[in-house]
Chain A
Amino acid sequence: MSDRIEVLKTYKTYIGGKFPRSESARTYKVKDSKDNIIANACRCTRKDVRDSLTAARSAFPGWRNRSAYNRGQILYRTAEMLEGRKDQFVKELTNTGFNEKNAGRETETAIDRLIYYAGWTDKYQQVFGTVNPVASAHFNFSNPEPTGIVGIVAPESSPLAGLVSMIAPVIAGGNSCVVLASQANPLPAISFGEVLHASDVPGGVVNILSGYSDEMLPHLSSHMDLNAIWNTISNKKTRKQIDENGALNIKRVLHTVNHIWLDDENHNPYYILEFQEIKTTWHPVGN
C-alpha cells in the first residue's frame, strides 16, 4: 500500500464561481524552498483579467443587495470551511517554505480574520453611517455603500493571511473583487477559491488569478470598469503605474506596503470603509 502514487492537484484559476484554466493555457512553475517543482500554476493574461472583471461586475448587484446578515453568515461559513481544511493549507504553506509554526499562524490568522469581518458586515454601517442634523426642514442621513469592483494585489510574503485580510473587508462591505495572488506562492490563494466556492459566496464575487503581476497588473489597474485598487507591491515604478492608471477613471487607490499581515493592526473596520462610498440622502419633513 505504501507504493500508492499520490494524486497531484491541478491548480487552476477561480473566475465567476468556476475553475477555468487560463485563457492562454500557459502555466508557470511553482517551486518549493528546495527548488523542486510542486505545481504548475496558471499564468493568467489580460484576457483572464477581462473575464474576471465581467464576472465581478455581474456578481456585484446581487452581492451588494444581499442582507448584511446574510453576508455575515457566508463569511462565517467561509471561516468554518477554512478551519475544516486547515491541514491542507498548512501543508501547502510548508511545501513552499513556511515552517510548521508559521504555516499554522498564517492559516489561523486567515480564519480569524474571516470571523472578524463576518461580524462587521452588519455593524460598520452603524459605526460609519450618520444622521445629519441639517438646518432646513429635511431628514438627512449618510450611509456607506460599496464602491463596486476592487482590484486586489495580494502580498507576496503572506500568501494566505495577507490575501484573506484583503479579501474579507472588501467583500464584507458588499464589493466584488479581482485578486492577483502572490506570484511566487499562489497555491493557497487558488485553494482558498475552493473554500469560497464551497461556502455559498456567489460566483464572481471573488475572482482569483495567478501569474506574473507585471503581465496582469497593467490591464487590471487600467481597466475602466474597476472602481478601486488595493496594492501591496512596494516597487515605486509599479506603484506609480497603478496610480497613473487609477487616474484614467478616478479609481480609489490604496497602497499598503511592507505590512506585517499577521499583526492585529491589520484587522479593523477602516479597511471596510476604504472601499465604501458615503451616500447622503435628503428628504423633506412636513405634513
Chain B
Amino acid sequence: MQEQIKYDYLTNYPIDEVGVEERVARLNSRSIKKESKIQALKLALSMIDLTTLEGKDSPGKVIQLCRKALQPHSELPGLPSVAAVCVYPTMVPVAKKELEASDVKVASVSTAFPAGMVKLSAKLEDTRFAIEQGADEIDMVISRGEFLKGNYNFVFDEIAAVKDACGDVHLKVILETGELGTLENVRKASFLAIHAGADFIKTSTGKISPAATQPVTLVMLEAIRDHYLETGKMIGMKPAGGIRKAKQAIQYLVLVKETLGAAWLTPEWFRFGASSLTNDLLMQIVKQESGIYQCTDYFSND
C-alpha cells in the first residue's frame, strides 16, 4: 500500500530566508583542519558526479572523463574513484564501456534536459532510451513553468511517470532552484518530487544561474530530514553547478553532517554535480599530504 503521509506537501511551509542564510553562515564558520580535512576531501572526491553536458561533447571527451573518474590522480594511487560520470543519453554507451569493470556509475540526464519543454511522451522516450543505452541513474528535470503556475499535479504526474519508466534505475529529480524564486518553493518542490518517487533531489541543471547555493541546499536537506523522520525513508541529495573549490565542497559536507547526520555522508546518499571541483580537491589533498601548495599544471585537465 501507499506509505502513510501525515502532511500535505502542498501546504505552505514557512521559511525565513535571512534565518536560512544565518544558519548557513554559522555552518560555514566550522573550521575543518588536519585529519578531518583530509577525510572530507577524499569523501567529497568519492561523491562527485563527474559531468560533461555540452553540445560539443564527443566520445573522446567522454572517454577522457571516464579515465579521470577511475583514476583521479595517478601520483596518488590510493584515492577513491568518483561516484559517477554524468553525460547526455547518446554518450551513455561510451561511458558505460569505459567504466564497465568499475563501481563508477553512469548517470544520464533525460526528459529533454535542461529545459524539459517537450511533451511527456518525449520525456519518457528520452528516459527509456538512456536506460536502454545502459544508464544506471537518470537525472530528470521538472517542468518549472507548470510548477510556478501552481500546476503541481502536472509536475507530480510527470515525475511519477518518469519514475515508472525508470523501474529500478535511480531517479534524480532536478528542481532547477534558480528558476523557482523562493526557498518556500524549493521546499515545496522538494516534497513534491520526493512524494512523486524521486530517489534523489538535485538543485540544478548547471545551465541556469544561480545553480546550487548553500541556502537552497540546506532547505532541501531539511526537507529530506523531515521526510525521513516522518516515514523512515531516506532520500539522496545532489547539489550541482557552481561548486568548484574544495573549500565549498567541505562546507556542503558540513551542511549534510549537521542536518542529516552521518548516514548521508556516503556517495550512496550525497553527490556533487561538478567537474572542475575534482582537480581542486586533488590539489588540496596533495597539499595536505605534502605540506606544499600546488599548481594546476601538475593536475590533468580532462
Partners in one complex: yes
Tell me the complex Cα distance, A286–B183, Å: 11
The smallest beta-carbon distance between B69 and chain A, in angstroms, is: 38
- Partner of A285 from B18, B181, B182, B183 at Cβ < 8 Å: B18
Query: Could you list some 16 contacts between A and B, CB below 8 A?
Result: A137-B18, A137-B21, A138-B18, A284-B16, A284-B17, A284-B18, A284-B19, A285-B18, A286-B16, A286-B17, A286-B18, A286-B21, A287-B17, A287-B181, A287-B182, A287-B183
- Taken residue by residue from 274 to 287, chain A's Cβ proximity to chain B (1 for < 8 Å, 0 otherwise) reads as 00000000001111
Residues of B that sit less than 8 Å from A by CB: 16-19, 21, 181-183
Residues of A that sit less than 8 Å from B by CB: 137-138, 284-287
Across-interface contacts of A285 in B (CB, < 8 A): 18
Nearest A residue to B17, CB-CB: A286
Across-interface contacts of B183 in A (CB, < 8 A): 287
Other contacts beyond A286-B21, A287-B182: 10, CB < 8 A? A137-B18, A137-B21, A284-B16, A284-B19, A285-B18, A286-B16, A286-B17, A286-B18, A287-B17, A287-B181
Tell me the complex Cα distance, A217–B245, Å: 73
Across-interface contacts of A287 in B (CB, < 8 A): 17, 181-183
Instruction: Kindly list the 7 A-B residue pairs having the minimum CB-CB distance in the complex, ordered from nearest.
Output: A286-B17, A284-B18, A286-B18, A137-B18, A287-B17, A287-B182, A284-B16
Across-interface contacts of B21 in A (CB, < 8 A): 137, 286
The smallest beta-carbon distance between A231 and chain B, in angstroms, is: 46
Nearest B residue to A284, CB-CB: B18
Nearest B residue to A286, CB-CB: B17
Most buried by A among B18, B181, B183: B18
Tell me the complex Cα distance, A177–B268, Å: 70
Tell me the complex Cα distance, A138–B17, Å: 11
Across-interface contacts of A284 in B (CB, < 8 A): 16-19
Tell me the complex Cα distance, A137–B17, Å: 10
Tell me the complex Cα distance, A287–B21, Å: 11
Tell me the complex Cα distance, A220–B66, Å: 86
Tell me the complex Cα distance, A137–B19, Å: 10
Tell me the complex Cα distance, A138–B18, Å: 8
Tell me the complex Cα distance, A137–B182, Å: 17
The smallest beta-carbon distance between B13 and chain A, in angstroms, is: 14
Tell me the complex Cα distance, A137–B21, Å: 10
Tell me the complex Cα distance, A284–B16, Å: 8
The smallest beta-carbon distance between A284 and chain B, in angstroms, is: 3
Nearest B residue to A285, CB-CB: B18
Across-interface contacts of B182 in A (CB, < 8 A): 287
The smallest beta-carbon distance between B2 and chain A, in angstroms, is: 34
Nearest A residue to B184, CB-CB: A287
The smallest beta-carbon distance between A164 and chain B, in angstroms, is: 48
